[in-house]
A and B are shown apart, each in its own frame.
Chain A
Amino acid sequence: MIIELQSVSKTFQMGEEMIHALDRVDLRVKKGEFIALMGPSGSGKSTLANVVGGLDVPDEGQIMVENQDIAKMRDRELSQYRNKKIGFIFQNFNLQPNLTALENVMVPLLFAKVTYNKRKQLALECLQSVGLEKRKNHKPGQLSGGERQRVCIARALANSPEIIIADEPTGNLDSKKTGEIIDLLKNLNKEKEITLIVITHDPSVAKQADRVLEIFDGKVK
Chain B
Amino acid sequence: MTILAIVVGAISVTIMLSLVLAGKAAFIGTMSANGGLTQIQVSPSSEIEGEDARWGGGNEPLTDATITSIKGISYVVDVTPVHDVGFSYMQLKGESKKFRANLSGYDPATKVMTMDVAAGRPLQAGDVAKVVVGSDTLRNLGYTSHPQDLIGKTLTFVNDPESGKKNYVTYTDADVTDPPKPDEKNFGGKEDAGEIHTYEAEIIGVSTAGGNAYMDNTSLEWVRQLTTRKRWDINKENSQQWEQQWKSLEEQMKQYNNSKTKMPDTLEAQRNQLMATQPQQEIVHESDITQNGYRSILVKVDDQNNVPAVAEAIKQLKLSTTTAQDQIDEMMKMFTIVSMILGGIGLIALFVAAIGVVNTMVMATYERTREIGVMRACGATRSTVRRLFTFEAALLGFWGGVIGLAISYGLSKVGNYILNRVATAQAVPLNNLITFPWWLIGGVIAFTTIVGLLAGLYPAIRAARMNPVDALRYE
Please report A residues at the B interface, Cβ cutoff 8 Å.
Answer: 50, 53, 55-56, 75-76, 79-84, 88, 90, 94, 96, 107-108, 111-112, 155, 159
Contact = CB atoms under 8 A, between A and B. Distances in A.
Contacts of A80: 379, 381
Contacts of A88: 377-378
Given A94-B370, A94-B373, A96-B371, A112 B379 contact: yes
A90 B370 CA distance: 11
Interface of B: 370-371, 373-382, 384, 468-469, 472
12 contacts: A55-B468, A55-B469, A56-B469, A79-B379, A83-B380, A88-B378, A90-B374, A96-B374, A107-B375, A111-B375, A111-B379, A111-B384
Nearest to B464: A75
A53 B472 CA distance: 14
Contact of A82 (B370, B371, B378, B469): B378
A111 B469 contact: no
Nearest to A109: B378
Given A94-B370, A96-B371, A79 B376 contact: yes
Contacts of B379: 79-84, 108, 111-112, 159
Contacts of B378: 82-83, 88, 107-108, 111, 155
B381 A75 contact: yes
Contact of B381 (A53, A76, A94): A76
A50 B471 CA distance: 13
A96 B381 CA distance: 18
Query: In this complex, which of A53, A55, A75 has the most chain B Cβ atoms within 10 angstroms of its Cβ?
Result: A55
A94 B474 CA distance: 11
Contacts of B377: 53, 55, 82, 88, 94
A111 B472 contact: no
A96 B379 CA distance: 16
Given A55-B376, A79-B376, A82-B377, A90 B382 contact: no
Nearest to A80: B379
A105 to B, nearest CB: 10
A94 B469 contact: no
A84 B381 CA distance: 13
Closest A-B pairs by Cβ, 5 of them: A83-B379, A108-B378, A79-B381, A111-B379, A94-B374
B240 to A, nearest CB: 109
Prevailing SS type, chain B contact patch: helix
A82 B468 CA distance: 12
A1 to B, nearest CB: 24
Contacts of A108: 378-379
B384 A94 contact: no
A83 B375 CA distance: 10
Contacts of A82: 376-379
A53 B380 CA distance: 14
A55 B379 CA distance: 9
Given A50-B469, A90-B472, A94-B472, A75 B382 contact: yes
Nearest to B382: A75
B376 to A, nearest CB: 7
A90 B474 CA distance: 13
Contacts of B376: 55, 79, 82
Contacts of A81: 379
Contacts of A94: 370-371, 373-374, 377, 472
Given A76-B381, A94-B371, A111-B384, 20 more contacts: A53-B377, A55-B469, A75-B382, A79-B376, A79-B381, A79-B382, A80-B381, A81-B379, A82-B376, A82-B379, A83-B378, A94-B373, A94-B374, A94-B472, A96-B371, A107-B375, A108-B379, A111-B379, A155-B378, A159-B379
Nearest to B473: A46
A127 B472 CA distance: 24
A56 B473 CA distance: 13
Nearest to A95: B374
Contacts of B381: 75-76, 79-80
A107 B377 CA distance: 11
A9 to B, nearest CB: 16
A83 B382 CA distance: 13
A111 B373 CA distance: 14
A111 B382 CA distance: 12
A169 to B, nearest CB: 14
B119 to A, nearest CB: 66
Nearest to B373: A94
A100 to B, nearest CB: 16
A81 B378 CA distance: 10
Nearest to A88: B377
A107 B378 CA distance: 7
A49 B381 CA distance: 19
A142 B379 CA distance: 27
A75 B469 CA distance: 14
B383 to A, nearest CB: 8
Contacts of B384: 79, 111
Contacts of A76: 381
A149 B193 CA distance: 114
Contacts of A107: 374-375, 378
Contacts of B469: 50, 55-56
A54 to B, nearest CB: 9
A50 B381 CA distance: 16
B408 to A, nearest CB: 31
B380 A79 contact: yes
A108 B371 CA distance: 13
A130 to B, nearest CB: 17
Contacts of B375: 107, 111
A155 B379 CA distance: 12
Nearest to B374: A94
A112 B381 CA distance: 11
A96 B469 CA distance: 17
A108 B380 CA distance: 8
Contacts of B382: 75, 79
Nearest to A97: B371
Nearest to B384: A111
Nearest to A77: B381
A90 B377 CA distance: 10
Contacts of B374: 90, 94, 96, 107
